[in-house]
Structure 1
Amino acid sequence: MHLGIPPPDCKSPPKLYFFDVVGEANAIFHLLERQFSDTLVPLISTSPKHSECVHKKREIMEQMEAKIDTGLDRSLAVTMGYVKHILASEQKKTDFRPETENLGQMALYTPACSKVVQFVNVQAMNIIKPLDGKNVSTVLTEFGVRFHRTIYEHLQQFTYNSEGVMLAICDINEYRKCMKNLQNPLVSSLFDALHALCNLLVVQPENLKQVCTGEQLAGIDRSVMMSFIQLRADFKTARIAQQLK
């Protein structure tokens, strides 16, 4: 069942047919349940074989569900692996720390972000089409949470000056819009928090302490906030650490 899933470090857009396989398996599950209840159970309901058949059916379904869970996990890993590849190959350090001020010529978002959003939107639709009910919500939640973690870790690799951080925030806004299409409150809240963290990169040093205690960052650990603040190009020159004591 899992042989057709590409490796997680693939360097070309992965063809993930496993989501369609899950959709077919889901249809088979429903058919099996209906046939079992409507056709078999009336014949064996008073027989000693009834409990044996129920146990066997449950055992088979649990085995299939375990294989599906493994396949979905690997498929999501491949998806995020390719997102990481796009970011690693397309995102330049100068995107977020340009040497000259070109605010009038700034793009709406970076080329890396554009490619990631296009890919992620396609994958989200590949998940939604074959699945139904709680399966859609469960898989999309995991998809969104993993995507958030991927972007969060990616952003931690750069240093941002005042011009570059505006472009980073534009990227985050694109990722946020992309994830809002999932209509998942948890995922949306994660990206809202990430947007608030990125605002720490653009706030004037003397206002950081006040912003850190504001409503937008309520519930976010101070160590997480500091990990973002330290990405500022002026972190040392503006003596920001001393101002936040």
Structure 2
Amino acid sequence: MSEKQFQDSLIPLVLSSPKHSLCLQKRRQLREQLEGKIDTGLDRAVAAVAGWVRNILSAEQKKTDFKPEDDSVLGQMVTPACAKVVKFISSIAQTIHSYLDGKNVEVVLTELGTRLHRVIFDHLQQFQYNSLGAMLVICDVNEYRRSIKDFKIPIVLELFEKLHALCNLLVVVPDNLKQVCSGEQLVGLDKSVLMGFIQLRYDYRTAKLATVLK
């Protein structure tokens, strides 16, 4: 029964009887149960989307993607794994806008965007990057960032902006690393997070970068 049917058809019948308060109580209980089931369903759907993105990246991203031997790969702009993920994310965002409205869209996209950031953040830390690979991953993250802009959720976009800034640590010349780490985009991040990305550089040991932030 819809809210309008409840108010127009049922309430007038019980308005002056003891059943009135009972009906209101029952309606509240049913609504809470329904909202709980919807919340659970949406949470599982978001988790499934994030899990599928993780599976795509795991299956499609190759170790050699970010350690290319020549610059011919730069013509592709983004890796195949990234292109597949972005296409999937875009389709999911369209579906969310089609089936939800109002504040629900913002809540679901915020949760989804946050989880996607975590999946991609963790994924990128599984690789080592040479100079060409670092440029490729920056292109990938820029593509993820463009896709996330369509969410129109500032806090999620900020997460991807910082991820993009972290990836820049992979291409900065060693002498400038400390300065970049204290720049506006990365200020406030824990040193362990910064070092986590610096350690992914192919020259981490040869350039003796272990003490760069000390």
TM-score normalised according to structure 1 size:
0.83
Residue 62 of structure 2 corresponds to residue 92 of structure 1: yes
Structure 1 unaligned spans of 5+: 1-30
**Distance between the aligned counterparts of 1:220 and 1:143, measured in 2?**
22
**Distance between the aligned counterparts of 2:52 and 2:7, measured in 1?**
43
Instruction: Provide the residue aligned with 1:78 in structure 2.
Output: 48
Match of 2:192 among 214, 219, 223: 223
Structure 2 unaligned spans of 5+: none
Q: 1:86 to 1:229 in 2, by over 3 A?
A: same
Could you tell me how far 1:214 is from its partner in structure 2? 0.8
> What amino acid sits opposite 1:96 in the alignment?
F
Instruction: Provide the residue aligned with 1:159 in structure 2.
Output: 128
Residue 45 of structure 2 corresponds to residue 68 of structure 1: no
Instruction: Provide the residue aligned with 2:207 in structure 1.
Output: 238
Match of 1:190 among 159, 169, 172: 159
Deviations 1:1-36 (A, max 9, x none): xxxxxxxxxxxxxxxxxxxxxxxxxxxxxx722222
> What amino acid sits opposite 1:117 in the alignment?
V
State whether residues 191 and 213 of structure 2, in contact with CA within 8 Å, keep that contact through their aligned partners in structure 1.
Answer: no
Match of 2:181 among 194, 212, 218: 212
Match of 1:179 among 148, 153, 156: 148
Residue 89 of structure 2 corresponds to residue 102 of structure 1: no
Instruction: Provide the residue aligned with 1:144 in structure 2.
Output: 113
State whether residues 106 and 167 of structure 1, in contact with CA within 8 Å, keep that contact through their aligned partners in structure 2.
Answer: no
Could you tell me how far 1:189 is from its partner in structure 2? 0.7
TM-score normalised according to structure 2 size:
0.94
State whether residues 14 and 20 of structure 2, in contact with CA within 8 Å, keep that contact through their aligned partners in structure 1.
Answer: yes
> What amino acid sits opposite 2:21 in the alignment?
S
Find runs of 4+ consecutive structure 1 residues off by over 6 angstroms: none
Deviations 1:131-164 (A, max 9, x none): 1111111111111111111111110110111110
Q: 1:77 to 1:232 in 2, by over 3 A?
A: same
Identity of aligned residues (%): 58
**Distance between the aligned counterparts of 1:67 and 1:151, measured in 2?**
29
